[in-house]
Structure 1
Amino acid sequence: MDWLQVVVLAVVQGLTEFLPISSSAHLILVPVLTEWQDQGLAFDVALHIGSLTAVVVYFRHELWGMLTSSLSALRGRGVDREAMLALWVVLATLPVCAVGFVLHDVIEGYMRSTLIIALSLIGFGVLLGYADWKQRGTRSEYHLRLRDVVVIGLAQALALIPGTSRSGITITAALMVGMSREGAARFSFLLSIPVIVLAGGLETLGLIQQPQGIDWSVLIFGALLSGVSAYLCIHFFLRLIKRLGMQPFVLYRVIFGVWLLWFFHA
């Protein structure tokens, strides 16, 4: 890998992991459009570590509260809102784990085409735009109910379809059940933590089974750049949606999807 490829892939991963525009779509298409060779599993793991570090650092206070409250609840000292939030994150992660385990080979083998990516970008983008326009809830991530978590968790399983966007579909579902824009985004980012851990774990297993030479300087730089860009993305995204909502991202998705249809299938 040359350094230009490292920089582009790291920044793309860091930005698109948390924006509702589909990281998988961009990471699949970058090598197609540039004709770069596959970056390899080791680099993928490094990028995931960078993104994971960013979201953990950004939400460190919330995560610490969730951890300590959960431990207190297990000791029989009562369940507060932080412990409930931790439970909701776990429950909302179960559907994507189950579907991913059962359909992983199908998704990897048959659904990573530019046609599916383009249609997913457009279709789920329009759905996000509708949810943002129609629903103006006020509830935060601390005011979820079980049925809300079930809806959001089932929606997150759809993110296994390339082009859907994990953050996009979970924010869409959260808006539809009455959460505020910021609350929906924050819960979506918290949900990303177990998903990134699981995805990175699977890639690590694949890396162990396929030993290869490792360029540590490339991996460290890629992880650092991915982490910095992801942290800045989370920070500015949460500020931007208060004023502009989701419509700029909807417009980007539709334009991107239409361009893919024209470029690859016209």
Structure 2
Amino acid sequence: MIEALILGFVQGLTEFLPISSSAHLRILGELLPGAQDPGAAFTAITQIGTEAAVVVFFWRDIVRIISHWFGSFTGRVPRNDPDARMGWLIIVGSIPIVALGVLFQDEIETTFRSLWIVATMLIVFGIILGLADWAGRKTRTLRELNVPHGILFGFAQALALIPGVSRSGGTISMGLFLGYERAAAARYAFLLAIPAVFGSGFYQLFKSIGEPSVYGLVETGAATLVAFVVGLLVIAFFMNYISKRSFLPFVIYRILLGGLLLVLLGTGVLSA
């Protein structure tokens, strides 16, 4: 239970920062006394907690988007209404991760969880985030978001199926490369994650019932609750932070963590 609570705390702390929560859970699992991968199912289920934090934090936005999206079918709301369009853009942007998640499910749960891959992705996508933050014009708002951009955001989010990429880091990087403001890219990234994370989390929850796992449903549920509380606090911090500062500290952290992980793997301290 203590290990599960620690992992839940780390999940909530790292999910919304562009440093990859799945990478941290994967690494931490090797450092805890049990020294084992908590598994893709545990990661997906605890993400339900952090995604519930997104729903609470953006509750007004979500209710408005859903109501306007449905209203656009009846004519009560114009079809070109920004919130109605956002509803469609979230659906369109979710297609890549659903398709790729189903297509590469076995690899996601096995091959992609190698710590060699995790370390490499931490460094590579840390550099990509730094380049995006440096090169991006950061002038576009979400009112300028269109279908092609939504699909590109979606493919960037799908890369987060590989631990070390970071769901928020990948989608925010794409947004910055496309010229969106930091806060706008982060807001869409968080909203876009809702269908994918809830879908994956509840699928893994259903699949894990009756199957042997590292942590039982009670421990996983407790970790999910901790992830929710911590995640809610982190969202508030992060949205305020990026409106004023760059992503450089996260870039440096990712590169240092990835480099340290490569050293530990190369010296045999950790097993991939």
Whether TM exceeds 0.5 here: the answer is yes
- Contact 2:46–2:221, Cα closer than 8 Å, also in 1: no
Counterpart AA for 1:57: V
* Offset, 1:142: 2.9
**Distance in 1 separating the partners of 2:210 and 2:72:** 39
**Equivalent position of 1:15 in the other structure:** 13
* Offset, 1:215: 6.3
Counterpart AA for 2:202: G
Q: 1:28 aligns with which of 17, 26, 48?
A: 26
**Equivalent position of 1:61 in the other structure:** 60
Q: Closer, same or farther in 2 for the Cα pair 1:45/1:251, shift >3 Å? A: closer
Give deviations 1:5-25, integer Å, cap 9, x for gaps: 133111111121111101111
Unaligned runs of 5+ in 1: none
Secondary structure, counterpart of 2:163 in structure 1: coil
Q: Closer, same or farther in 2 for the Cα pair 1:209/1:118, shift >3 Å? A: same
- Contact 1:132–1:245, Cα closer than 8 Å, also in 2: yes
**Equivalent position of 1:73 in the other structure:** 72
**Equivalent position of 1:222 in the other structure:** 223
Q: Closer, same or farther in 2 for the Cα pair 1:215/1:89, shift >3 Å? A: closer
Percent identity for Structure 1 against Structure 2: 39
**Equivalent position of 2:101 in the other structure:** 100
Q: Closer, same or farther in 2 for the Cα pair 1:46/1:121, shift >3 Å? A: closer
**Equivalent position of 1:256 in the other structure:** 257
**Distance in 2 separating the partners of 1:11 and 1:146:** 36
Q: Closer, same or farther in 2 for the Cα pair 1:111/1:214, shift >3 Å? A: closer
* Offset, 1:41: 8.3
**Distance in 1 separating the partners of 2:75 and 2:249:** 46
Q: Which moved more, 1:104-113 or 1:182-191?
A: 104-113
Compute the RMSD of aligned alpha carbons. Answer: 2.1
Secondary structure, counterpart of 1:244 in structure 2: coil
**Distance in 2 separating the partners of 1:13 and 1:106:** 22
Q: Closer, same or farther in 2 for the Cα pair 1:150/1:106, shift >3 Å? A: same
Q: How high is the TM-score relative to the length of structure 2? A: 0.89
**Equivalent position of 2:203 in the other structure:** 202
- Contact 1:41–1:207, Cα closer than 8 Å, also in 2: no
Q: Closer, same or farther in 2 for the Cα pair 1:246/1:202, shift >3 Å? A: same
* Offset, 1:49: 2.9
State the aligned residue count: 263
Unaligned runs of 5+ in 2: 268-272
**Distance in 1 separating the partners of 2:249 and 2:136:** 17
Q: Which moved more, 1:250-259 or 1:26-35?
A: 26-35
* Offset, 1:143: 2.2
Secondary structure, counterpart of 1:121 in structure 2: helix
Give matches, 1:74-223, under 5 Å. Answer: 74-77=73-76, 78-79=78-79, 80-210=81-211, 216=218, 218-223=219-224
